[in-house]
Amino acid sequence: ERCAPELRQQPQREAAGQVPRPDPAHGPGTSLRDILGEEDEQDRVPPEKLQLLGESEELRDLLLNPHLQQLLLTIDQAQDKSSLMRRFMQEPLFVEFADCCLSIVEPPEKENVLPE
């Protein structure tokens, strides 16, 4: 009986924005495609392509390098990632890592190949 007044006030609180409502766009069963807009999708790598990164021996070999591991940890922990990325893009080892990742997720189109 004590709960009855509280239950009657619940819809009023929700309408006033006092009770947080679950966000249906980010609830269970929501896919990444539902959350991202089309413009966001252009800069995203599909999960199937990301899976290829984990299967690459060349990338695994690069990631064994302790200097590269330190660079990646530094970026991950940095507050200002964009300026650090600009600086690291001058590092040959980091460029090699980035090129390797890009060649896996976006293989270069074959140029000057005659059709069979």
The encoded tokens of residue 45 equal: 């790598």
The encoded tokens of residue 28 equal: 């269970």
Whole-angstrom Cα distance, residue 86 to residue 98?
A: 12
Q: Is the pLDDT at 6 greater than 50, yes or no?
A: no
DSSP state of 43: T
Asked if the structure places residue 101 within a domain, the reply is yes
The encoded tokens of residue 25 equal: 């766009």
Percent of residues, the chain, with pLDDT higher than 70 = 58
Q: Is the pLDDT at 3 greater than 80, yes or no?
A: no
Asked if the structure places residue 22 within a domain, the reply is no
Q: Is the pLDDT at 18 greater than 80, yes or no?
A: no
Q: Are 105 and 45 in contact (CB under 8 A)?
A: yes
Asked if the structure places residue 58 within a domain, the reply is yes
Domain containing 85 equals 48-105
Pick the more confident residue, 15 or 63.
63
Q: Is the pLDDT at 103 greater than 50, yes or no?
A: yes
pLDDT at 38: 55
Asked if the structure places residue 113 within a domain, the reply is no
The pLDDT-based confidence of 19 (bands split at 50, 70, 90) is very low
Asked if the structure places residue 7 within a domain, the reply is no
Asked if the structure places residue 32 within a domain, the reply is no
Q: Kindly report, residue by residue over 64-98, the tens digit of the pLDDT.
A: 999 999 999 999 999 999 999 999 999 999 999 99
Q: Is the pLDDT at 10 greater than 80, yes or no?
A: no
What is the domain count for the chain?
1
pLDDT at 26: 47
The encoded tokens of residue 30 equal: 């929501």
Distances (CA, A) of 14 to 8, 33, 67: 11, 29, 53
pLDDT at 56: 93
Asked if the structure places residue 54 within a domain, the reply is yes
Asked if the structure places residue 91 within a domain, the reply is yes
Exposure pattern of 29-55 as b/e (b: 16+ CB <10 Å)? eeeeeeeeeeeeeeeeeeeeeeeeeee
